[in-house]
Amino acid sequence: MRNKKFIPRPVAAAILASIISSPSSLLIGSENAALAAYGNDDYRFGLQTVLRSLGAQDWQRRQEVEKLLNEHKSEAPTILTNALDSADPVVQKNASEMLSRMSSNWEFVISDRSLATIIAILKSSHTSQVRSNLVRVIGNVGPRNDRLQPIILDLMKKDEDVSVRSAAADSLANFMREEKALQAEEAVKVMCYCLKNDISPHVRRAVAHAMGNLPGPSDLVIAALTEAMDDNYKQVRGAAGSSISRFGARGKRALPNLLKMYNDEKDWGSRQQTLSALVQIDRKNPKVVEAVVGALDDPQLMHSALSYLQQLGVDAAPAVPRLIKILEPENNINVRVQSANALGAIGPKAQSALSTLNKLSQTAEGTLKTSVDSAIRRISIDGQTPNNLDSFHRESVL
């Protein structure tokens, strides 16, 4: 065992005792024999033995062990690394999964010695799931030293396994949030190269998604993501558009590509995602407003479009005729409420809706009446229209 280290006896004893005393514990037969091999009073490797005894179907016991390890985070990295250093592929897989999940917790600190074991197993393992998990572990550790990033970069560029390259993309994004600017610059180049050239669309999608988590995206990143929105695979196009939307106004150069993608895509999920990106990047752009107004004619996008129009406020004025039509009784009550709210948010530029709103106020009930009356007040007051202004002042006094 490359990383064998004694766990403080009281801690190991407490963990082991908890497992053994658990009503749902299944420590019988060979498992008890395995524990007995260390002696009844020697708990130094008790938990490692439990981990090694875990079979592929022992999910309940794995949950118990992980819960107990979370209660002893200072010892957990060494315990799991010891279990990871096993010839049993099932034990390796289980230990690597636990390491991957638990290492995302800042209280879970992996020692340099354990990290060296993890890297050695990563390089020697032939199991893609184990290697992917360990790549994510290294990503969670972050740029502790100058040797770690090159490992991730090399895997991302050269590894034959799709899942490993995808995990490397996620890990690299974690690194870049923490590391120095010079190292991050090299990582950006590799990510842009892989986004364009990796043969697997799953990897390209993972890279595009990871790039959306980068702090302070450079022009190179935005240019690469913009180009990726013309990828042959929808999953890559969607991930690229979603990542650019996270950059807000900095992603304006991608607006023509997003508009093209929105108009070309047939899948409503992709169109909804792209519409959201357009609004986040440049909501005041007339072409974006036009796209949002047009989305009112798509039943699957209508709710989102109405919400965006309410956010746009006065800039949503071109939607007023369509919003008035949505107020008609044959439409769903929810969209009628949203339409009234959007008209109220537009304010004085929705003057042409006052006649319809006033008539509707006389028959509407509940939430719809509340929204309609609110819209009337907002349009009338902002526009200095006498209708309902006196009644609003009376309501205010009361």
Tell me the domain boundaries of the chain. Answer: 285-398
What's the token pair of residue 340?
């009234």
pTM strictly above 0.75: no
Residue 31 has pLDDT above 70, yes or no: no
Q: How many CA atoms lie within 13 A of 298 on its CB side?
A: 18
Rounded-to-integer distance, Cα 186 and Cα 156, Å? 13
pLDDT-based confidence at 55, cuts 50/70/90? low
pLDDT for 46: 57
Amino acid at 205: R
Q: Cα(342)–Cα(315) distance, rounded to whole angstroms?
A: 11
- Which of 100-114, 215-229, 307-321, 373-387 shows the lowest per-residue confidence on average (mean pLDDT)? 373-387
- Segment 98-116 mean pLDDT: 91
CB 353 within 8 A of CB 323: yes
The pLDDT-based confidence of 47 (bands split at 50, 70, 90) is low
Residue 53: band (very low, low, confident or very high) from pLDDT cuts 50, 70, 90: low
CA–CA separation, 10 and 17 (whole Å): 10
50 band by pLDDT with thresholds 50, 70 and 90: low
Say if residue 19's pLDDT is above 90: no
Indicate the average pLDDT of the chain.
82
303 Cβ neighbours under 8 A, 6+ residues apart: 334, 335, 338
